[in-house]
């Protein structure tokens, strides 16, 4: 059942029924969101088992807070924030920034995006992002994928804006090195 797009009246009806505790409506919402939200969880967690745990926790939160959805804006966008926040809570609990490097070291890293990125497929690039240390991966995802500002990232992760910037620079540098290495391997 397609619940997005042109079927917005059906989608609204399903949300209302799910708010009332209708299990079939909740299952339909789960089915319509699970794949997309799993991808969000996996991007942040970098590990399938951890992503599945966050996905389940996220759905518990979503159904618990469903009555706070006002209908302003996209339901999927509202749900996505829940899953991002659930992933961030899990990462905070595990002290994701323990791999943080000195902020001064990031000053000397090139912030230019690798031009060779067009030669790397989405799945391969996603795998490379998933291999980043948790702190770098989290800031990279929040900034590049989700569109958060460094100020918003700093507040969400309880770090400084400078640390957010340095984490992003380090993530980009690591990705650039991985892409360069991968392209060298392809040419051999």
pLDDT digits (tens, 9 = 90+) for 62-103: 999 999 998 888 899 999 999 999 999 998 887 765 555 444
pLDDT in tens, 100-153: 544 444 444 444 444 445 556 777 888 888 889 988 999 999 999 889 999 999
| Same-domain status, 70 and 101 | no
Cβ-proximal residues to 45 (8 Å cutoff; 6+ apart), any chain: 51, 54, 87, 90, 91
177 shares its domain with 109:
yes
Q: Are residues 182 and 115 in the same domain?
A: yes
End-to-end CA distance of the chain: 47
Q: Indicate whether 106 and 38 sit together in one domain.
A: no
Domain finish residue from 49, 73, 93: 93
Whether residues 114 and 146 fall in one domain = yes
77 and 16 fall within a common domain: yes
CA pair distance 1, 14, nearest whole angstrom: 11
Share of the chain above pLDDT 70, in %: 81
**CATH number for the domain including 154?**
1.10.10.10
Q: Is it the case that residue 11 has pLDDT exceeding 90?
A: no
> What pLDDT shows up at residue 96?
66
Distance CA 177, CA 173 (A): 6
Last residue of a domain, one of 69, 93, 117: 93
- Tell me the whole-structure pTM to 2 decimals: 0.71
Range of the domain at 129: 97-187
The total domain count for the chain is 2
Domain boundary among 93, 122, 138: 93
Same-domain status, 87 and 17:
yes
Please report the pLDDT score of residue 105 as a whole number. Answer: 46
What's the pLDDT score for residue 114?
A: 42
pLDDT of residue 169: 94
**C-alpha angle with apex 54: 52 to 55, nearest 5 degrees?**
60
CATH number at residue 12: 1.10.1740.10
- Given a cut of 60, whether residue 157 has pLDDT beyond it is yes
pLDDT at position 4: 46
């Amino acid at each position: 059942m397609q619940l997005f797009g042109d079927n917005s009246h059906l989608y609204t009806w399903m949300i209302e029924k799910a708010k009332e505790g209708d299990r079939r409506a909740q299952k339909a919402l789960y089915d319509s969101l699970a794949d997309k939200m799993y991808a969000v969880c996996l991007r942040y967690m970098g590990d399938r088992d951890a992503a599945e745990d966050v996905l389940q926790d996220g759905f518990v939160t979503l159904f618990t807070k469903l009555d706070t959805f006002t209908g302003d804006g996209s339901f999927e966008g509202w749900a996505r924030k829940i899953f991002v926040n659930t992933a961030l809570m899990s990462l905070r609990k595990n002290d994701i920034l323990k791999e943080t490097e000195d902020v001064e070291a990031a000053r000397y890293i090139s912030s230019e995006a690798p031009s060779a990125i067009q030669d790397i497929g989405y799945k391969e690039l996603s795998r490379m992002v998933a291999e980043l240390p948790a702190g770098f991966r989290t800031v990279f995802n929040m900034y590049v994928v989700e569109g958060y500002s460094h100020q918003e990232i700093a507040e969400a992760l309880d770090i400084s804006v400078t640390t957010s910037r340095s984490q992003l620079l380090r993530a980009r540098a690591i990705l650039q090195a991985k892409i360069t290495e991968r392209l060298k391997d392809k040419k051999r």
